Structure 1
Amino acid sequence: MRLNAKQIAAYTGGQFLVDPIDPSALMTGVTWDSREVQPGWLYVALPGERVDGHQFVEAALRAGALGALVTDAPSHACALLAKELGAAIIEVPNTASAITDLARAWRGHLHGRVIGLTGSVGKTTTKNLVRDVCAAYGSVAATKANQNNELGVPRTLLSADPETAVVVVEMGMRGRGQIAELCDFVRPAWGLVTNVGESHIELLGSRENIACAKAELFEALPAGTGRAFVNIADDFTDVMVERARLGERAVAVTGFTGHPDAAAREAAERESAGCDQAVWAEDVALDAEGRPCFTLCARDAADHDEGALFATVERVPCALALTGAHNVDNACAAAAVGYALGLDLATIASTLGASVPEPGRQEVIAARGGFTVINDAYNASPDSMRASLATFAATEVAGRRIAVLGDMGELGSFAEACHKGVGAAAASHPIDRLICVGELAQHIAEGAEAAGMDSARISRAATIADVLEELDVLLEPGDAVLVKASHFMGLTRIVEGLVN
């Protein structure tokens, strides 16, 4: 962003408690973490359950903040410091709402294409791939890490400049109406839904309800000029397309799929008949480390032939640095965005191949003990658990495969069945040892046993310390350990313990 103190006060309905020394000075960034403040930024004092951001206004000013948004009047010493440094202190009714107000106003300054992105699984990985592909088109601003909530989404918009070519906004949700609220100020021109899975089923009750909530992104796209990117192998895509009335509103559709299954491919071909463009993968294979290589394919509406759904097709080879066949879907989603931007397939394939995973997302770490740790502990859902196990099974391992799986959250009354389903999936793969940690994860153990896994290969652990103690005795050079659970389980401590 590039806004002066007067603009910020006007956009947020604020009033000056301390006037800036230079009202025309532009603030070029925003944060609510005083440790992140850079010279020229705006600091937002957010109240919290444990820590109140108002306690750190002075620290933010000393770090170079040109202004601070507050709901409580600053101390006399803090006000004097602000005057001395020439910084503004602006009182607003609600600091969290003020961030959204700023983003709503700043959206009107952005000239580039804003792309909204959501889905049950793979949002952050797909967002990173889209970001990397779009960088071959022009300047890009994108959601940092997984800051996809009511604070992170406006911050993403505020991180863009007016001349930024593409803004990629990842949107998370826990219930109906939340994506619509985000879209109200993001105003996406294009929208991408990775898939409809079982994440958040606790609050929404069914995959159909989840699809309707995700469809809010497509409903927000502008009639006549918008573009929707749909997973043509997902069985709830039709629900979203119909709910958003894409055809009726003349919203263009680009279909994508990376699913190697023949039946899914056949269904995808039928679905793609209604797409203006289609991007998909053929000949998907995994190397010894579980990294996919495939043929990236695309066709345009102008090439569409009634007699051959994929007539006049462009094809280029593509190899990913990411692991797992499920990432072919994510790569094809990103390729679809690049293709719609007009990038050639060879450039798209090259940028996809150069993209690397974020820490905690199938991050492969060589430990000093001669074994390998696969850190996938950032988050988990039933779909991502199954995908991670399949990737682990396809990876070449000199020793034994050991899977450490923990609780998955936000499943409500479905939790027991979903965890047992993950256990059954684990039993279907060549897993030498399954360690289940947490209360819900005990159902993973039950599911694995019921599906035929030898109980001698299954361990039940109550704490992270228990897991580390078992692994300390169990691990040998050449072994590989997969660690995965929902973020609240904190299984990154297992990774840190193994690596350090």
Structure 2
Amino acid sequence: MHLTVTEIAEAVSARIVVAACPETGVTSITWDSRTVEAGSLYVAIAGERVDGHDFALDAVSAGARCVLITHSLPDEAIARAQELGAAILLVKDAQEAITDLARVWRGRLCGRVVGLTGSNGKTTTKNLVRDVLACAGSVTATRGNQNNELGVPNTLLSADADTQNVVVEMGMRGLGQIESLCSFVRPEWGIVTQVGESHIELLGSRENIARAKSELIAALPEGGIAFLNGVDDMSDFVWENARGAERGVRAVCFDGSGEYCEEKASGWRAGRAVWATDILLDDAGCASFTLVARGFSEGAEHESALCSLALSGLHNVHNACAAAAVGLAAGLSLKVIVEALGAAKPESGRQEMLKARDGFTVVNDAYNANPDSMRAALSTFAAMRVDGSRIAVLGDMGELGDFGPAGHREMGSLVAELGIDWLVSVGDLGSLIAGAAEAGGMSAERVFRAVGAADALEIVRKLVEPGDAVLVKASHSVGLERVVEGLVG
């Protein structure tokens, strides 16, 4: 972004505490004083544990040109701002101010804004879309998984006015939240990766989850494009609930199942589509396949190209097909797209393959988990070529509510069915995984129950040998990244 202090004050309806030159330019935004750089807008957020106002002096000293506050600052910080020519603006609500600022900046963006949501695959698909669209010009995308009420506006504010593509990942924890985000993001294209079971504790059913995800498609303008998962049984609900066809939104189908059938496709699935055929997995569980597209090139009904991913897991074929569909809609050739997809690397904590010094492999998937993603991770893990044993370290999956016990027991049954050699469960709900694995026929001698991450690490250290592979997966709150760090650090 590039806004003057005057423009910021007007956008957020602020009271000026310390004035600066009206034309002072601000080029970035942060609420972490450690990341302040020259020209930053520092937003002092009063959190439950840390109050950002305590670091306003540090922010100004580090080069912040403007500080947003919601309550008074020490005299020392005020004096330092006056000395360095930094503005201090008082607002009623810091989060609302960030949103208001993003709404104003969105009006100045010249490029295309692509929104993305889904129960699984959001961050990986966002990264793939980013990498593909980078072949078409400048692109700004959500950093990491900053897809909440702070991260979403920050993504918009991180883009330059002439950025050609802005990819915004949107999370949600209830009905109306994506609608609220879309009110200022104003996406022109929208991707729904999948409707799964994450957040089912809050929403109660997959239909309600689909209803929440459909808010993204409902926000698209006439002529916008909805990219929908052709194999997801809730995609029809998403499309119909958003009244996409009635409002003149165009649909593009993506299908990475390997089972897309043109002859049977109907409705929105029969239009422009991208799908995968002849899917093969290598020893590391990475997929190679033929990527097929229909309806994107004039004079050629179909086009195809071979694609090989460096990302492990069959589920990433779906994600790649979604990214390819976006790239084709943006006018890129299939050749350029498959090259970009092939060069993509996994993000830390998401099916990240790590080699330990002691000669074993760690699959770091500890960032988050729900039944859909854990099911995919276990299936990929079982398909990997491993010289030694497979050790699964699985912990609690959060936000499942009353569905939690059944979801964890399902994972235990799957562990036994897939023939995983050793299981280390972590946490109270994780112990249900262990019990179901034993009930499914896994020897009790090969099942361990750990209280927490430290306990799990000690168990795995005693089990693992050169040539083995260790899968680590749970919800982020379990902290299993400490197991990964202890094994490979």
TM-score (structure 2 length as normaliser): 0.98
Report the Cα distance in structure 2 between the residues aligned to 1:204 and 1:273, rounded to whole angstroms.
27
For the residue of structure 2 that corresponds to 1:96, the secondary structure is: helix
Q: Residue 134 of structure 1 aligns with which residue? A: 133
Q: Residue 423 of structure 1 aligns with which residue? A: 412
Total equivalences in the alignment: 489
The answer (yes or no) to whether the contact 1:275–1:301 under 8 Å persists in 2 is no
Once the two structures are overlaid, the 10-residue window that deviates more, 91-100 or 274-283, is 274-283
The answer (yes or no) to whether the contact 2:230–2:269 under 8 Å persists in 1 is no
Q: Residue 284 of structure 2 aligns with which residue? A: 289
Deviations 1:251-271 (A, max 9, x none): 0111101012x4xx2499514
| Structure 1 pair 466–301 and aligned structure 2 pair: CA distance change class (3 A) | closer
The answer (yes or no) to whether the contact 1:279–1:296 under 8 Å persists in 2 is yes
Report the Cα distance in structure 2 between the residues aligned to 1:85 and 1:275, rounded to whole angstroms.
62
The answer (yes or no) to whether the contact 1:233–1:268 under 8 Å persists in 2 is no
Question: Mapping of 1:326-341 within 5 angstroms?
Answer: 326-341=315-330
Q: Residue 321 of structure 1 aligns with which residue? A: 310
Report the Cα distance in structure 1 between the residues aligned to 2:297 and 2:301, rounded to whole angstroms.
9
Q: Residue 461 of structure 2 aligns with which residue? A: 472
Question: Mapping of 1:133-282 within 5 angstroms?
Answer: 133-223=132-222, 225-260=223-258, 262=259, 265-266=260-261, 269-271=264-266, 274-282=269-277
1:181 aligned partner, one-letter code: S
Report the Cα distance in structure 1 between the residues aligned to 2:127 and 2:276, rounded to whole angstroms.
19
Once the two structures are overlaid, the 10-residue window that deviates more, 269-278 or 128-137, is 269-278
Once the two structures are overlaid, the 10-residue window that deviates more, 240-249 or 270-279, is 270-279
Match of 2:293 among 295, 298, 311: 298
2:95 aligned partner, one-letter code: A
The answer (yes or no) to whether the contact 1:124–1:170 under 8 Å persists in 2 is yes
1:289 aligned partner, one-letter code: A
Report the Cα distance in structure 2 between the residues aligned to 1:215 and 1:469, rounded to whole angstroms.
44
- Cα displacement (A) at 1:499: 1.2
2:242 aligned partner, one-letter code: A
Report the Cα distance in structure 2 between the residues aligned to 1:239 and 1:71, rounded to whole angstroms.
42
The answer (yes or no) to whether the contact 2:15–2:90 under 8 Å persists in 1 is yes
The answer (yes or no) to whether the contact 1:402–1:434 under 8 Å persists in 2 is yes
Report the Cα distance in structure 2 between the residues aligned to 1:483 and 1:164, rounded to whole angstroms.
38
- Cα displacement (A) at 1:449: 2.0
Pairing 1:406–2:395 present: yes
The answer (yes or no) to whether the contact 2:252–2:269 under 8 Å persists in 1 is no
| Structure 1 pair 301–331 and aligned structure 2 pair: CA distance change class (3 A) | closer
The answer (yes or no) to whether the contact 2:296–2:328 under 8 Å persists in 1 is no
For the residue of structure 2 that corresponds to 1:300, the secondary structure is: strand
Pairing 1:15–2:15 present: yes
1:160 aligned partner, one-letter code: A
- Cα displacement (A) at 1:457: 1.8
Report the Cα distance in structure 1 between the residues aligned to 2:26 and 2:392, rounded to whole angstroms.
48
Pairing 1:55–2:44 present: no
- Cα displacement (A) at 1:443: 1.0
The answer (yes or no) to whether the contact 1:229–1:256 under 8 Å persists in 2 is yes
Runs of 4+ residues deviating >6 angstroms: 301-304
Q: Residue 74 of structure 1 aligns with which residue? A: 73
Report the Cα distance in structure 1 between the residues aligned to 2:363 and 2:284, rounded to whole angstroms.
11
- Cα displacement (A) at 1:75: 1.8
Report the Cα distance in structure 2 between the residues aligned to 1:122 and 1:407, rounded to whole angstroms.
19
- Cα displacement (A) at 1:455: 2.0
2:146 aligned partner, one-letter code: Q
For the residue of structure 2 that corresponds to 1:51, the secondary structure is: coil
Deviations 1:87-115 (A, max 9, x none): 10001111111000100111100010000
1:383 aligned partner, one-letter code: D
The answer (yes or no) to whether the contact 2:454–2:482 under 8 Å persists in 1 is no
For the residue of structure 1 that corresponds to 2:310, the secondary structure is: coil
| Structure 1 pair 482–49 and aligned structure 2 pair: CA distance change class (3 A) | same
Report the Cα distance in structure 2 between the residues aligned to 1:124 and 1:172, rounded to whole angstroms.
10
Match of 1:450 among 439, 442, 460: 439
Report the Cα distance in structure 1 between the residues aligned to 2:361 and 2:440, rounded to whole angstroms.
27
Pairing 1:117–2:116 present: yes
For the residue of structure 2 that corresponds to 1:320, the secondary structure is: strand
- Cα displacement (A) at 1:313: 1.4
Report the Cα distance in structure 2 between the residues aligned to 1:256 and 1:235, rounded to whole angstroms.
13
- Cα displacement (A) at 1:463: 2.1
Report the Cα distance in structure 1 between the residues aligned to 2:391 and 2:426, rounded to whole angstroms.
13
Report the Cα distance in structure 1 between the residues aligned to 2:351 and 2:88, rounded to whole angstroms.
43
Match of 2:383 among 394, 401, 411: 394
Q: Residue 24 of structure 1 aligns with which residue? A: 23
Pairing 1:103–2:102 present: yes
Deviations 1:437-462 (A, max 9, x none): 10001111122122222222211111
- Cα displacement (A) at 1:277: 1.2
Report the Cα distance in structure 1 between the residues aligned to 2:59 and 2:392, rounded to whole angstroms.
44
1:59 aligned partner, one-letter code: D
Q: Residue 308 of structure 1 aligns with which residue? A: none
For the residue of structure 2 that corresponds to 1:117, the secondary structure is: strand
Q: CA RMSD in A?
A: 1.4
The answer (yes or no) to whether the contact 1:179–1:213 under 8 Å persists in 2 is yes
Runs of 5+ consecutive residues of structure 1 not aligned to the other structure: 305-310
1:27 aligned partner, one-letter code: V
Identity score, percent? 58
